[in-house]
């Protein structure tokens, strides 16, 4: 067991690094190099993979900071992929090598999604589309889930014949969205990293991590734009006083702050549950994302209104957060679809108290 | 909950409490208390109080020189959690006695006052709170009930309102005005009022539910001995803060756990206990409410962890109260809606059964107690905005 990182210190140093990068107007490639140098990708990886073996809360801290500054999604995509690969890295297979290369900055393997039904393998050739995958434009490998005789996860080197990565322009300008299209893409046995029950288990973990990462993005983004809104309201004077003193506006801010504190608390509980594989950690991760996502959307909507005219302009940041919150909410399905998927587990938990 | 059952002794204590509750929660109390008379409810509360005092679980938050007192906060929390999980009756009748009166007396009372009242509370002395007035609600410090000193007595005139179960109380924690010349907070005195004194008229307030859980107290030339003053004359405002913060999160903890444990009632109201809800909208709204109940518990857990570490919780209590009030409202409103016509058919309410009895119309009505009482939502929002978010006060405020 490694010593636990102090999360407050981690947060401070992350905020400084990202703040400096933002001031410099650093291109994405520079930021990526910085993150590799700082070893952020290894924070939660096991020591045998060259990581620090920290609980998920450490990664969650970084995700939140990246969310604050509207960073691209590639760090999340790569780190989830590494976490999946770490599960098989014991036997000296391709995965272990890929992890080492990634930590050295020489590879960028990314996860794509968790629904194997979207791509099917027939006679070793993949067909299908995974829609709406974030920031895989610079990926060196893709971890592709597909359905053969059972669920399979294959790590495909990019470019891969028959596999295309198609850009889809979005309103959200802070990230890039792609479809991963497989048209008779061949899969060799050595590409396969998980099959059957192992693949299912890794997909569950990947899904939960993605849910928590998007919840972190929402919590970090909400805090950033809400903080900026409060500052604006203090400085903006009308009728001879700061608009932050108007009770009608204060109460709206208080309601947002209440929801933000609750969704932040739920997120921390969800991260802890995942680290300890405690209780229904999968559902808790899904709950965290749903709630934090909803709060993020409301905060970003209110931020524009509370800023007034300036909030409606292109120059101001507000719209960037709003668009990101909107896209977050529909990745991998609408909130309604995700609630439907979550309902049986939540209702089972609720019904279990009825026996008392 | 997180972070609090690491000690094996803690786990052991939980087992002990759980075992005791299994053996002692009166079987079938919900059925008996549903549609019960007030007299039957009072009698059952007295019995339950006796049992809890006997087991030393009623006074775990008292200081250690008193029977049952001196338990660490972690153990007090276990008692509250286990009460909720065992679906024990709430100890409504003695709530003010055990928390507000006892903790205020322990901090501010003379030896004589403590010895007079604390053992009596253990034997069932009932207290109520005489703080609010018809014109002093959110702005409590503007209270006008007057006390004039005449030798060894104060003579009190005025009116108090919203005293929980005040019609049954033996004593009342009374805030009175003894000085109107300076700032309004500086002229308030704290008295311990014997409700059998001459000149007191108590009138129960009938709520929108039809129940009578609160009383008005009219005071006309009521003599209160100076010996029954708590602290110094005109120092009552500060003492009142002790009373108002006496619960230290324990009540809201118990209520949150009760709400969590009662989620199944919503599934019942939707008529589908097997976990499959056909109606898309009901299903999704139930998921929303359940997620928010989890979030509420996580938020509360953070606050309790801070309290246990002796940290300042600042305005976090307002976050918790606002969130609980909102979630309780959503839960009961959804229950009443999906309960359809059945929820509109009047039927007996479960006295002492909490805020999620499954009698949806009444549960919904009672949810207003949490958005209005104990600092209304609007006051809580001011606290959040000003103390946590640092937003400026409006010019008139607090003047």
Q: Does residue B292 or residue A118 have the better pLDDT?
A: B292
Q: How large a percentage of chain B has pLDDT more than 90?
A: 86
Quote the pLDDT of residue B1. 44
- pLDDT of B399 over the 50 cut: no
Q: Which residues of A179-210 are buried (b: 16+ CB within 10 A; e: fewer)?
A: ebbbeebbbeeebbbbeeeebbebbebbbbbb
Quote the pLDDT of residue A93. 62
B127-130 vs B171-177, strand pairing mode = parallel
Chain B positions touching A353 (Cβ under 8 A) are: 260-264
Selected for mutation to probe chain A from B3, B4, B264, B393 (highest A CB count within 10 Å) is: B264
Contact A152, A116 (CB under 8 A): yes
Cβ-based neighbour number of residue B152 at 10 Å: 9
What mean pLDDT is predicted for residues B184-203?
Answer: 98
Contact B154, B147 (CB under 8 A): yes
- pLDDT of B349 over the 60 cut: yes
Chain A positions touching B81 (Cβ under 8 A) are: none
Encode pLDDT of B297-344 as tens digits.
999 999 999 999 989 888 889 999 999 999 999 999 999 999 999 999
Chain A positions touching B299 (Cβ under 8 A) are: 261-262, 265-266
Q: How far, in Å, are A22, A58, A287 from residue A272 at the CA level?
A: 30, 10, 14
Question: Residue A23 burial (CB < 10 Å; 0-12/13-18/19+)?
Answer: exposed
Quote the pLDDT of residue B84. 95
Q: With bands split at pLDDT 50, 70 and 90, how would you rate the model's confidence at A353?
A: confident
Whether residue A356 and residue B85 make contact (CB cut-off 8 A), yes or no, is: yes
Encode pLDDT of B204-251 as tens digits.
999 999 989 999 999 999 999 999 999 999 999 999 999 988 877 899
d(CA B77, CA A139): 50
Sign of CA dihedral B240, B244, B246, B248: negative
Cβ-based neighbour number of residue A169 at 10 Å: 8
From the CA of B316, how many Å to the nearest CA of chain A? 9
Q: With bands split at pLDDT 50, 70 and 90, how would you rate the model's confidence at A92?
A: very low
What mean pLDDT is predicted for residues A301-325?
Answer: 97
Scan residues 1-40 of B and list those with Cβ closer than 8 Å to A.
2
Closest residue on chain A to B322 (Cα)? A258
Quote the pLDDT of residue B2. 44
Lowest mean pLDDT segment, chosen from A170-174, A285-289, B35-39: B35-39
Quote the pLDDT of residue A347. 93
Q: With bands split at pLDDT 50, 70 and 90, how would you rate the model's confidence at B396?
A: low
Quote the pLDDT of residue B3. 45
- pLDDT of A282 over the 60 cut: yes
d(CA A212, CA B194): 57
| pTM score | 0.94
What mean pLDDT is predicted for residues A301-323?
Answer: 97
Chain A positions touching B268 (Cβ under 8 A) are: 354
Mean pLDDT score of chain B = 93
What mean pLDDT is predicted for residues B266-277?
Answer: 76
Which residue out of B213, B247, B285, B336 is catalytically annotated?
A: B247
- pLDDT of B375 over the 70 cut: yes
Closest CA to A258 of B317, B392, B258, B255: B317
Q: Which residues of A touch B (CB under 8 A)?
A: 230, 233-234, 241-242, 244-247, 250-251, 253-255, 257-259, 261-263, 265-266, 268-269, 272, 284, 287, 290-291, 336, 339-340, 342-344, 346-354, 356
Main-chain phi, psi angles of A110, to 5 degrees? -135, 150
Cβ-based neighbour number of residue B188 at 10 Å: 24
Q: With bands split at pLDDT 50, 70 and 90, how would you rate the model's confidence at B9?
A: confident
Active site residue B247: yes
- CB neighbour list of residue A248: distance below 8 Å, 6 or more residues apart: none
Question: Residue B270 burial (CB < 10 Å; 0-12/13-18/19+)?
Answer: buried
Q: With bands split at pLDDT 50, 70 and 90, how would you rate the model's confidence at B275?
A: low
Closest CA to B246 of B120, B380, B111, B63: B63
Scan residues 284-343 of B and list those with Cβ closer than 8 Å to A.
284, 286-288, 290-292, 294-296, 298-299, 301-302, 316, 318-319, 322-323, 326
Quote the pLDDT of residue B4. 45
Quote the pLDDT of residue B246. 84
From the CA of B204, how many Å to the nearest CA of chain A? 34
What mean pLDDT is predicted for residues A97-101?
Answer: 92
Contact A64, A58 (CB under 8 A): no
Closest residue on chain B to A338 (Cα)? B284
Whether residue A257 and residue B262 make contact (CB cut-off 8 A), yes or no, is: no
What mean pLDDT is predicted for residues A186-212?
Answer: 93
Quote the pLDDT of residue B369. 94
Q: HSE (CB half, 13 Å, CA atoms) of A332? A: 19
Nearest to B2 among A269, A287, A340 (CB): A269
Nearest to A356 among B261, B267, B280 (CB): B261
Quote the pLDDT of residue B272. 63
Quote the pLDDT of residue B38. 87
DSSP states of B248-293: TTHHHHHHHHHHHHTHHHHHHHTT-TTS----HHHHHHHHHHHHHH
d(CA A104, CA A39): 9
Quote the pLDDT of residue A28. 78
Place of tokens 């604006």: A232
From the CA of B8, how many Å to the nearest CA of chain A? 19
d(CA A330, CA A15): 28
């Amino acid at each position: 067991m490694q010593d636990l990182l102090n999360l407050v210190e981690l947060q401070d140093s992350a905020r400084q690094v990202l703040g400096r990068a933002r001031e410099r107007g650093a291109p994405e490639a520079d930021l990526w190099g910085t993150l590799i140098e700082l070893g952020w990708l290894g924070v939660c990886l096991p020591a045998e993979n060259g990581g620090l073996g920290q609980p998920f809360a450490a990664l969650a801290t970084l995700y939140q900071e990246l969310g604050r500054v509207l960073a691209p999604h590639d760090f999340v995509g790569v780190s989830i992929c590494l976490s999946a690969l770490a599960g098989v890295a014991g036997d000296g297979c391709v995965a272990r090598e890929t992890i080492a290369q990634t930590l050295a900055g020489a590879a960028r393997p990314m996860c794509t999604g968790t629904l194997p039904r979207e791509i099917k393998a027939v006679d070793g050739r993949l067909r299908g589309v995974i829609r709406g995958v974030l920031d895989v434009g610079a990926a060196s490998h893709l971890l592709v889930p597909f359905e053969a005789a059972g669920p399979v996860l294959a790590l495909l080197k990019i470019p891969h014949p028959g596999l295309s990565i198609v850009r889809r322009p979005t309103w959200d300008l802070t990230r890039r969205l792609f479809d991963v299209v497989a048209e008779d893409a061949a899969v060799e046995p050595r590409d396969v990293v998980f099959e059957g029950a192992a693949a299912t288990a890794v997909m569950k973990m990947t899904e939960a991590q993605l849910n928590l990462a998007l919840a972190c993005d929402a919590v970090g983004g909400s805090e950033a734009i809400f903080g900026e809104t409060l500052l604006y309201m203090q400085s903006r004077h009308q009728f001879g006083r700061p608009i932050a003193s108007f009770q009608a506006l204060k109460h709206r801010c208080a309601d947002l702050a209440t929801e933000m504190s609750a969704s932040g608390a739920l997120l921390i509980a969800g991260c802890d549950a995942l680290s300890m594989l405690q209780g229904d950690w999968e559902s808790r991760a899904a709950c965290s994302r749903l709630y934090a996502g909803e709060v993020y959307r409301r905060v970003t909507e209110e931020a524009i209104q509370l800023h007034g005219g300036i909030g409606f302009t292109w120059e101001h940041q507000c719209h960037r957060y709003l668009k990101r919150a909107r896209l977050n909410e529909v990745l991998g399905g609408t909130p309604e679809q995700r609630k439907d998927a979550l309902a049986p587990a939540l209702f089972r938990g609720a019904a279990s108290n009825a026996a008392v | 909950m997180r972070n609090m059952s690491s000690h094996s002794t803690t786990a052991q204590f939980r087992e002990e409490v759980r075992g005791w509750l299994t053996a002692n929660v009166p079987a079938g109390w919900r059925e008996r208390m549903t549609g019960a008379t007030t007299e039957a409810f009072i009698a059952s509360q007295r019995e339950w109080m006796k049992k809890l005092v006997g087991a030393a679980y009623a006074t775990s938050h008292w200081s250690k020189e008193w029977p049952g007192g001196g338990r660490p906060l972690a153990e007090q929390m276990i008692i509250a959690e286990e009460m909720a999980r065992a679906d024990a009756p709430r100890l409504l009748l003695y709530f003010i006695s055990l928390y507000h009166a006892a903790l205020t007396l322990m901090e501010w009372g003379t030896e004589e006052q403590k010895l007079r009242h604390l053992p009596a509370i253990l034997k069932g002395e009932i207290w109520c709170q005489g703080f609010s007035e018809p014109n002093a609600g959110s702005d409590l410090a503007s209270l006008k009930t007057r006390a004039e000193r005449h030798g060894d007595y104060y003579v009190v005139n005025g009116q108090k309102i919203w005293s929980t179960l005040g019609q049954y109380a033996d004593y009342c924690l009374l805030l009175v005005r003894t000085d109107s010349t300076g700032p309004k907070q500086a002229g308030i005195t704290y008295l311990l009022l014997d409700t059998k004194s001459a000149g007191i008229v108590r009138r129960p307030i009938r709520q929108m539910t039809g129940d009578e859980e609160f009383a008005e107290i009219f005071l006309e030339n009521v003599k209160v001995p100076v010996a029954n003053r708590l602290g110094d004359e005109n120092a009552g405002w500060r003492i009142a803060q002790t009373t108002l913060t006496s619960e230290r999160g324990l009540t809201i903890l118990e209520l949150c756990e009760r709400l969590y444990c009662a989620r199944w009632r919503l599934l019942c109201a939707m008529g589908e206990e097997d976990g499959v809800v056909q109606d898309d909208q009901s299903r999704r709204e139930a998921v929303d409410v359940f997620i928010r109940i989890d979030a509420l518990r996580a938020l509360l857990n953070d606050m309790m962890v801070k309290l246990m570490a002796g940290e300042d919780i600042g305005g976090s209590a307002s976050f918790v109260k606002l969130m609980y009030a909102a979630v309780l409202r959503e839960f009961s409103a959804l229950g009443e809606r999906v309960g359809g016509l059945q929820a509109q058919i009047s039927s007996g309410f479960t006295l002492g059964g909490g805020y999620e009895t499954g009698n949806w119309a009444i549960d919904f009505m009672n949810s207003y107690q949490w958005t209005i009482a104990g600092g209304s939502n609007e006051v809580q929002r001011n606290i959040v905005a000003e103390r946590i978010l640092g937003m400026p006060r409006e010019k008139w405020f607090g003047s």
